[in-house]
Amino acid sequence: MIGVRGIIYDCDGVLFDSRRANLAFYSRVFEHFGEPPLVDGDSPAADICHTYASNDVFRMLLGEERVAKARAYAATIELQPLLRLMVPEKGVLQVLRRLSESKQLALATNRDRRVHSILRHFNLAPFFTKVVTSQDVRHPKPSPDMLLAAVEGLGLTPEEVLFLGDSKLDLQAARNAGVRFVAYKGMVESELSIREHKDMISLLGLSPTDTGYHSSHPND
């Protein structure tokens, strides 16, 4: 693909299968306020918790009057036990390593700044030149603020960047920012899509020699 100099990644559902971790986190908050824990599946509440920024989750599911207290309690929850519930997507480490040799990479996530600790824990932090969280912009996704901040942080233009995401929020943010969207695992309809991380290599028109990527490793 000609003209692509940078790739922006979403976090949840793209870098990690983190649905169990997210539901466990929000269930702790909801139970603190006397609400029932979240049940995994296709429930609208579970989907909201997996895609929206925390302030929006609390506003939609607990009500505006409890947002501040929910934020305060959420900040006390230890992150470390939840990391055991997060599973890196297949091949993500190998592909990020190869792509970072020729492309600039950024992360745009509706998580808060604790995502930096997650990236360090899984040895992914060195690959990202810019990380933008919900606490770094005025409006999280689907606003374009996050993607535009990432583009600026890479020193590129929206036309030079792809955004890899898996939700309707990601797709709308890309459209709002004028960034080309790549759908991961076909979770949303898009002109560009990949099923696995290694597919980004062929999408960009890179050869295995260009990236150093090989498929002999069982985790690739």
Q: What is the pLDDT of residues 125-153, one digit of tens each?
A: 999 999 999 999 999 999 999 999 999 99
pLDDT, residue 43, reads: 80
How far, in Å, CA of 4 to CA of 101, rounded?
A: 14
Neighbours of 187 (CB within 10 A): 16
Task: Assess contact for 163 and 181: CB atoms under 8 A.
Answer: yes
> Given pLDDT bands bounded at 50, 70 and 90, which one contains residue 56?
very high
pLDDT, residue 208, reads: 60
Both tokens assigned to 138: 């005025």
pLDDT, residue 209, reads: 52
Greater confidence (217 vs 141) lies with 141
pLDDT above 80: residue 220: no
How far, in Å, CA of 182 to CA of 53, rounded?
A: 21
State the chain's mean pLDDT as an integer: 91
pLDDT of 159-205, one tens digit each?
Answer: 999 999 999 999 999 999 999 999 999 878 999 999 999 999 999 98
pLDDT, residue 46, reads: 87
Share of the chain above pLDDT 70, in %: 93
Cα–Cα distances in angstroms (integers) from residue 171 to residues 107, 168, 181, in the given order: 15, 5, 6
Rg (CA), the chain: 17
